[in-house]
Structure 1
Amino acid sequence: MASIRLTRPTLEVLQVLLASTDDDPAWGLRICEEAALGSGTVYPILDRLTERGWIASQEEVVPHPGRPARRFYTLTGTGRKLAEEAVRSRLGQRGTPSPALGADA
């Protein structure tokens, strides 16, 4: 699995993905909002994470009427381990969690 440059925006996206669950998955706009980043930043990060095997995506099976289908993003098994390691390492360096991760995480 290829490594990725762990910039602050990339770490913010990873934190949102780590906080998502199967019952409450992350999609593009939600990631943008929770990471406080624009779509022009988030979608290239999601593309790089997908290319390197950190995340997988799937289109919503039954879209809600009146809006386009969402694309859900989830960390792969290895991607989750790498993301946890990256976030833990960065938190150790700066000492405070990101708002996207939450104070109790």
Structure 2
Amino acid sequence: MAPSRIRLTTTTRLVLDALLDADPGDPPWGYRLCEITGLGPGTVYPILERLETAGWVAGTWEHPKPDDRPARRTYTVTGTGRLAYAEAKAAKAHRQTARFALRPRMEA
């Protein structure tokens, strides 16, 4: 069963933001995401795997396969992923606002 929640670490948010900022007509592949985010493949590929397992991201093999290089697996954020990520960001913003509002005021 796919996990319903994703832990939104800084690196996961970087990958999701890069995917969301990508041109829909030219979705990025793993190595391109490494270049965009500045993260290594040992970080990006496990994140993509978790996001795909959770249904947040869909990976598709390039077709037809180019003659001059191996086929690339490109990635896009699914509707489920867009909604879940937006909800998670909104919840985080709400928690930060609530935490700030609850701080005692310092009297001068």
Structure 1 moving runs of 4+ over 3 Å: 84-93
Gaps of 5+ in 2: 97-108
**SS state of the match for residue 73, structure 1?**
strand
How many residue pairs match? The answer is: 93
Higher relative contact order (CA 8 A, sep 6+): 1
Identity of matched residues, %: 49
Matches within 5 A, 1:48-87: 48-86=50-88
Superposition RMSD in Å: 2.1
Q: How much has 1:81 moved relative to structure 2? A: 1.9
Larger Rg: 2
Kept in 2: contact 1:15–1:87 (CA 8 A): no
Distance (whole Å) between structure 2 residues aligned to residue 91 and residue 21 of structure 1: 27
Task: Give the structure-2-normalised TM-score.
Answer: 0.75
1:46 match: 48
2:103 match: none
Q: How much has 1:67 moved relative to structure 2? A: 1.1
**SS state of the match for residue 26, structure 1?**
coil
Kept in 2: contact 1:12–1:35 (CA 8 A): yes
The verdict on how the C-alpha distance between 1:28 and 1:88 changes in structure 2, with shifts beyond 3 A counting, is farther
Q: How much has 1:88 moved relative to structure 2? A: 6.3
Q: How much has 1:22 moved relative to structure 2? A: 2.5
**SS state of the match for residue 13, structure 1?**
helix
Q: Deviations over 1:64-95 (max 9, x none)?
A: 322110001111101012224445667896xx
1:10 match: 12
2:39 match: 37
Asked if 1:22 is matched to 2:2, the reply is no
Gaps of 5+ in 1: 94-105
Distance (whole Å) between structure 2 residues aligned to residue 43 and residue 91 of structure 1: 27
Kept in 2: contact 1:57–1:71 (CA 8 A): yes
